[in-house]
């Protein structure tokens, strides 16, 4: 898989993200292979998947390789790079670029389990070393 350190210039929609998740787990794949993984659970048709794949290629998130009369699709961005970029955008947009208010919000709304808190505390201890 080609490695890009930056996210695509255009944001990836929720529907496009579902396609990316399939391809991050298994690639390369044809449009019909992707549809086999997502169409039933999302009530999508093959044209919907082909449209999403085309958009992701245009955005620079996917690459293609011809295979006979069809194309195989593969990610051009790493999942970890995408998650990092989206996480930074979320913190910047909703919390002024600071992570502490994000954690406070999650804690206040009981969105963090005891296990989550233990993992966060362990991560913080490790980062301070």
- CATH assignment, 14-78: 1.10.10.10
Do the beta carbons of residue 2 and residue 63 sit within 8 Å?
Answer: yes
Model pTM greater than 0.95? no
Residues of the chain with pLDDT under 70: 1-9
Is 62 in a helix, a strand, or coil?
A: strand
Contact 65, 18 (CB under 8 A): no
Q: Provide the CATH topology of domain 80-128.
A: Penicillinase repressor fold (1.10.4040)
- Give me the pLDDT at residue 99, please: 87
Residue ranges of domains in the chain: 14-78, 80-128
Q: What is the pLDDT of residues 37-71, one digit of tens each?
A: 999 999 999 999 999 999 999 999 999 999 999 99
């Amino acid at each position: 898989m080609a490695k890009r350190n930056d996210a695509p210039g255009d944001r990836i929609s929720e529907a496009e993200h579902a396609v990316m998740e399939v391809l991050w787990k298994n690639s390369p794949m044809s449009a019909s292979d992707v549809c086999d993984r997502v169409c039933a659970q999302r009530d999508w048709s093959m044209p919907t998947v082909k449209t999403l794949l085309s958009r992701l290629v245009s955005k620079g998130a996917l690459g293609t390789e011809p295979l006979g009369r069809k194309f195989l699709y593969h990610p051009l961005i790493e999942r970890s790079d995408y998650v990092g970029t989206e996480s930074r955008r979320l913190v910047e947009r909703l919390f002024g670029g600071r992570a502490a208010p994000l954690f406070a919000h999650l804690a206040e709304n009981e969105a963090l389990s005891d296990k989550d808190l233990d993992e966060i505390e362990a991560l913080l201890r490790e980062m301070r070393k």
